[in-house]
Chains A and B, each alone.
Chain A
Amino acid sequence: MTPVLHIENLHVRFATPDGVIEAVRGVDFSVAPGEFVGIVGESGSGKSQMLLAVLGLLARNGTTTGRVRVEGVELSQDNEDALNRVRGARIGTIFQDPMTSLTPHMTIGKQLAEVLEVHHGLTHAEARLRSIAMLERVHIGAAQTRIDQYPHQLSGGMRQRVMVAMALACGPALVVADEPTTALDVTIQAQILALFRDLRRDSQLAMVLITHDFGVVADVCDRVAVMYAGRIVEAAATRDIFRTPRHPYTEGLLAAAPRLDDEVTGPMRTIAGQPPSGYVDVPGCSFAERCPWASDRCRRERPRLLESGGGRSVACHHPLTEVRA
């Protein structure tokens, strides 16, 4: 099956007055049709830049190398027309902050219709009907009235639903969401996640969900890729990652995030040190300086992302083998 998205050896670099920052360092990544994949990482992991690179939305001082294929078709970064056709029509996007993603002076109906008219050549009336249908699909009540409202008249959760509707408007094969629920209240987040679970039942739609929250991933994703310092360090089915995380970073991250059902007493588990800056790339494993199990080999030789069967891959010289509770 042709993957909906296929990324090969993607590098993203930024030229700054202080030197070159490499945000993404050679990532290979694929999404199959109908698959929901989560990308987990902290700041400096490169997860957002990877997405922006695919969409051709990097800042002016950013350069991308590597291959990106959407539904089998090669995308070149220089071909702005091709990118425009793909953006919106084949790949829908949902960003973190619905406040700034929606144009404040246009009604949401107009914004929705614009996407449809541009990509599908619908007439005004047709676009309006379809927009109402989209709003209903994302569970926005009284869609007939809402459609003529302005973004500031809607709450944060509602605006994010509109973003989802816009992303889905043209029936794309893939939706990418960058921290779509991070700015929302937890009760609203639960509703948006329920919406995503709903969309997952539609076998045609694939999603890439970027987040720092493992809980979100557990709720919505089939597969997870964990990124650190611009590289994927582990990828596996969601269930496997939680039960048997193989990479020390994945394990550390899972342990450091407090849960409602873990023990209450004692200090929290942490990962020592802090995420690296994008300027320097060490010869060995980027995580070695923070890893409790790092060996000399780890500091000298960079581990490659190796498959270990069952759809799992790890980039570690000494992958963990214990089962987490």
Chain B
Amino acid sequence: MWRDAWRRLRRRRAAVGAIWILLLVAVLAVIGPSISPYGFEALDYGHLAQAPEFVSRHWFGTDDLGRDLYVRTLLGLRISLAIGLLATAVSVAIGVTYGAVAGYLGGRVDEVMMRAVDLLFALPQFFFVLLLAVVFDQNLIVLFLTIGAFGWLVMARIVRGQTLSLKGREFIEAAVAGGATTTRILTRHVVPNVLGPVVVYATLTIPQMILLESLLSFLGLGVREPLASLGGLVADGAAHMEVARWMLLIPGGFLSLVLLAFNFVGDGLRDALDPREHA
């Protein structure tokens, strides 16, 4: 099934292109900064707010404090990607477990669990994230956790739905008849069979997480200085838009590219894994 999906995915050029871009970006984020002679917080007084040029090796230019934008952008990319992936991992872990248990156990347990989700859903998520960011003084770990903690809600709903339809399938009945415990059924039979939609949704969650963190950074509540995520760089760039356009355009461009690419891959995966898709 994965092989067929892969084959179908390969045919969607947008998705394939997006995958290449993401790979490229990832490589860049990992090894890119080491190519440059500059550090991310080094202040180069000789080149304040300088446009991108080749000679001074400030390939993306510098910001108003003389910091090299190439290194900062790529580091920002690293941070944004890390946040996106980690937060998504948290929401997947929580969401899948919660949804599978609720869906499989059914009855009252399911009702109670899903009402809890409905309740949390109704809360103003952004507000809470803001609150926690302020209270915990922009601690990076707390940031990861709080962002991820809200992402699991939709994942839980999706997984619960999938589990409900899986429950009636005969191989689950066969496992029960064979004496399997509920835990075994959930881990060995339910979860592997809901991975399809989970992977799709996870891929689409990553850009949401990145965007959420970017918004926080824009408000000054994201990753703390001198570290900066792409969002933080964009915030900086927006403030200096008139004198140093590249400060906004370059990190902004990378951010948009990454978000778009993840969305394309996610859409492509969703179509590729859809069993009703014909040749």
**Direct interface between A and B, CB < 8 A:** yes
Contacts of A60 in B (CB 8 A): 278-279
CB–CB B278/A17 < 8 A: no
CB of A16 within 8 A of chain B? Answer: yes
* From A16, A17, A59, A60, residue with most partner B Cβ within 10 Å: A17
Contact partners of B279 in chain A: CB under 8 A: 15-17, 60-61
Chain B neighbourhood of A17, CB < 8 A: 4, 7, 279
- For residue A61, which residues in chain B have a CB less than 8 angstroms away from its CB? 278-279
Q: Restricting to A81-110, which residues have a CB under 8 Å from any CB of B?
A: none
Chain A 16-36 interface mask (CB, 8 Å, partner B; 1/0): 110000000000000000000
Residues on B with C-beta less than 8 A from A59 are 278
Question: A60 vs B279: C-alpha distance in the bound complex, in angstroms?
Answer: 9
Assembled-state Cα–Cα distance A264/B224 (Å):
84
CA distance A17 to B272 in the complex (A): 14
Least CB separation from B278: chain A residue = A60
Interface size on B, residues (CB 8 A): 4
- What is the distance, in angstroms, from A220's C-beta to the closest C-beta of chain B? 34
User: Which chain A positions have C-beta within 8 A of B7?
Assistant: 17
Q: Which residues of B contact A16 (CB under 8 A)?
A: 279
A322 to B4, CA, bound (A): 49
Taken together as a complex, chains A and B put the C-alpha atoms of A59 and B278 apart, in Å, by 10
Which residues of chain B (257-279) have a CB below 8 Å from chain A?
278-279
Residues of A contacting B4 in the complex (Cβ-Cβ under 8 angstroms): 17
- The smallest C-beta distance from A23 to any residue of chain B, in angstroms, reads 15
Shortest A53–chain B CB gap in Å is: 18
Cα(A233)–Cα(B233), bound, Å: 75
The digit string for A56-92, where 1 denotes a CB below 8 A from any CB of B, is 0001110000000000000000000000000000000
Q: Which residue of B lies closest to A16 (CB)?
A: B279
Task: For the complex, give the distance between the alpha carbons of A15 and B7 in Å.
Answer: 15
| Complex Cα spacing A17 to B4, Å | 9
In the complex, A146→B279 CA distance in Å?
41
Scoring B residues 1 to 22 as 1 if CB is less than 8 Å from chain A, else 0, what string do you get?
Answer: 0001001000000000000000
Q: Which residues from chain B contact A15 at a C-beta distance below 8 Å? A: 279
CB-CB nearest in chain B for A14: B279
Distance A313 CA – B269 CA, assembled complex (angstroms): 52
Closest chain A residue, CB of each to CB of B11: A17
Residues of chain B in range 94-137 having any CB-CB distance to chain A below 8 Å: none
Write the nearest CB–CB distance from B96 to chain A, whole angstroms: 31
Nearest A-chain residue to B7, judged by Cβ? A17
With both chains docked as a complex, state the minimum distance between the C-beta of A15 and any C-beta of chain B, in angstroms.
8
Given the complex, which residues of A lie within 8 Å of B278, measured CB to CB?
A: 59-61
Minimal beta-carbon separation of A57 from chain B (angstroms): 15
A60 nearest CB neighbor, chain B only: B278
B50 smallest CB distance to A (angstroms) = 54
0/1 per residue, A284-312, Cβ < 8 Å to B? 00000000000000000000000000000
> What CA separation (Å) do A61 and B273 show in the bound complex?
20
A15–B279 Cα gap in the complex (Å)? 9
- State the CA gap A60–B278 with chains docked (Å): 9
Q: Which of A129-187 contact B (CB under 8 A)?
A: none
Bitwise, B141-158 to A at CB < 8 A (1) or not (0) is 000000000000000000
Residue in B4, B7, B278, B279 whose Cβ sees the most chain A Cβ within 10 Å: B279
CB distance from A51 to the nearest CB of B (A): 21
Q: How far is the CA of A17 from the CA of B278 in the complex (A)?
A: 11
A17 CA to B3 CA, complexed, in Å: 11
Give min CB distance, A42 to chain B, whole Å.
23
In the complex, what distance in Å separates the CA atom of A178 from the CA atom of B7? 34
User: In the complex the two chains form, what is the Cα distance from A60 to B7 in whole Å?
Assistant: 19
Closest approach, in angstroms, between the C-beta of B2 and any C-beta of chain A?
A: 14
How many Å from the CB of B223 to the closest CB on chain A? 46
Query: How far, in whole Å, are A16 and B4 apart by their CA atoms in the complex?
Result: 11
Give the nearest-CB partner of A59 in chain B: B278
Q: A189 CA to B7 CA in the complex, in Å?
A: 44
B114 to chain A, nearest CB (A): 30
Cα A56 to Cα B7 with chains together (Å): 29
Within the complex, what minimum Cβ distance (angstroms) separates A150 from chain B?
26
Question: Cα distance A61–B278 when bound, in Å?
Answer: 9
Docked complex Cα distance between A60 and B4 (Å)? 18
CB distance from A63 to the nearest CB of B (A): 13
Bound-state Cα–Cα, A59 to B4, Å = 19
Shortest C-beta distance, B275 to chain A (Å), equals 15
CB distance from B159 to the nearest CB of A (A): 30
How far is it, in angstroms, between the C-alpha of A36 and the C-alpha of B279 when the chains are bound? Answer: 37
The distance from the CB of B271 to the nearest CB of chain A, in whole angstroms, is: 16
Closest to A15 in B: B279
Give the Cβ gap from B11 to chain A, nearest Cβ, in Å.
Answer: 10
Within 8 A of A (CB), among B1-45: 4, 7
Residues of A180-215 contacting chain B, CB below 8 A: none
Expressed in whole angstroms, the Cα–Cα distance for A59 and B279 within the complex equals 10
Task: Output the least CB separation between A17 and chain B (Å).
Answer: 6
Per the bound structure, the CA–CA distance linking A66 and B4 in Å amounts to 32
CB of B140 to closest CB in A, whole Å:
46
Extra inter-chain contacts (8) besides given A15-B279, A16-B279, CB under 8 Å: A17-B4, A17-B7, A17-B279, A59-B278, A60-B278, A60-B279, A61-B278, A61-B279
5 A-B residue pairings within 8 Å (CB atoms): A17-B7, A17-B279, A59-B278, A60-B278, A60-B279
On B, residues with C-beta under 8 Å from A are 4, 7, 278-279
Q: Which 4 A/B pairs are nearest by Cβ-Cβ distance?
A: A61-B279, A17-B7, A17-B279, A16-B279
